Chain A
């Protein structure tokens, strides 16, 4: 259960630099999620940690021990792969015990460990079967079991749920969350799914284009994103971004666009005093709108489509040329094609620099 530290680690394939040098520290016994769109370098980071990819420069430390030159087997870690990577020719018991058998653990101990983990994961009745005889969800459990049997210090997960159907994924996600709370190990989890990241991570590292955009707790990322990328990536439905301009009128800071004008609360207004540019990007979460016009600042939106999701509906609306998603309770239905006035909870407005995308 070491503390893991990346120190100016970078990765290049030939002349193509996929990961510029970065620092990242994963505290002991933490569940860290690396999240980002495909090609952002999250899997490469994990694979360098696992020892499946070499490190081009920099060093990875487990506690204070440099490990980037060590073989995977010398790093005391276990890994769950996206396609499970079970050994097709071995039965489940053999799959789970492979590492222990290689390490020449006594037979009785192997049996004991395999049976304990198998019953914990509800796969004890499958031990004699081959991977091809299992369903996707069962294979997933076996992959998990194979990692757990190892009792390694660090667990790595490379998109372990992405091959499952939606229902099973939700179930496994809940089980993983339970496991996170009962097993006191370092866990590093890679996913492109922000819902998985939010529900599982003690800490989330958001990556894009090989750069770490932001790291923090799920709540920090949702409430205090540092730039438009993180703000747009975290949260579903995604945040709306509008072009706007800062203006001062009657002692109040306003942000104004083609079809709206919203007053800014005092704390944001103060921060924006020093903003270099008057042209900004305004971020509004779909949940920041309310049909109750007595609350917040009014905004007129033309409802184009209403997507019914059950208790909630997502309205696709137009504000001038811009498309805005609005989340509402299905209990108060809104007709498509009408123009409606909504209240905007101005406390939740986020203002970003138009060129750099940084939060102001």
Chain B
């Protein structure tokens, strides 16, 4: 079996501000926040009220559709407030954090002798199950289903992404422990996609490694699934981020929910991009403090990368699935004159309508503008050039817009997640919100199936 795959279609986007390889500690914020909305498709049922004292690992809420699936606090302290929006929807849980984290102890003695159900229950209880995601639908894995395979991407190819070879260097013991736990949860094969033969993941036992070469999205787990073991109707695949595997491993070694992760602080507006160690829910302001370029224009803070991340306010909080923070120029103050005619040498385009390709070393100015108005689908073949799946992207998107469930199934909706369409959305001349369209369609598909 070939264990090296070359991804031909795709696009690497050059942005300044890749993280230097040094890890600093970030001062833990005095206030932490958890946004239930980040866990897509979960309806939160609160377990705590304002004023209650909690430990790190204490449940905050559980999933209304699956009792027992807990979502836990990353730190110890006191719940200050449960912020609710329209129709009493839980928007966020604000926690006044202790200066020293006090962990809730779980009974995980003899982890290697535990059986499948005990492990599953421990993961659900400790809130670590939510880090196991599934395809189809790109949601938290359904604990009742057993997957046909588990996929872990050992590298992130998105713009300014953290380098897992560096990030995982000191976490490989935990990672192996995590793999051992997951292989007890399911007898299916565990696949790890790696960037090269000398990857740090090569030494992991109990997994199948495959080298993926090529431009972004070569590191997207969806591409790995599509190339190695595509999902058919009725099948489920689990996907987990490497650092989350390490967190699961650590949990079964120490018996505490220690959500410490190494996160990359990146982006053109960061003075010294670097890695830092923190816990999800930390305040962005504390993370970037004193490390932003002194500029007069408004900035955009992203929990995640520039293609798939979540926009947060300057006082927002790090979301649990993110492994990077990106800061870019918001751009709303910029008015470019005659954009359709000017050369615009500082603008990047994957198309050949700019001189970008003739200036390979050029640095580009990035901001969050759409750079055009929304139109109907006009250009053809544009998405296909950056979409390395055996799926017809345009036809799938059109079916999703029309909401035709059966045709979505037939055209491969089970195999994809919104992030797989991020590059298509980036290059799109018509500026359509493709990730939104995919997300809504997957939700609709899911609600039809349950």
Our verdict on whether A and B bind, yes or no, reads no
Question: Which A residues form the contact surface with B (CB < 8 A)?
Answer: none
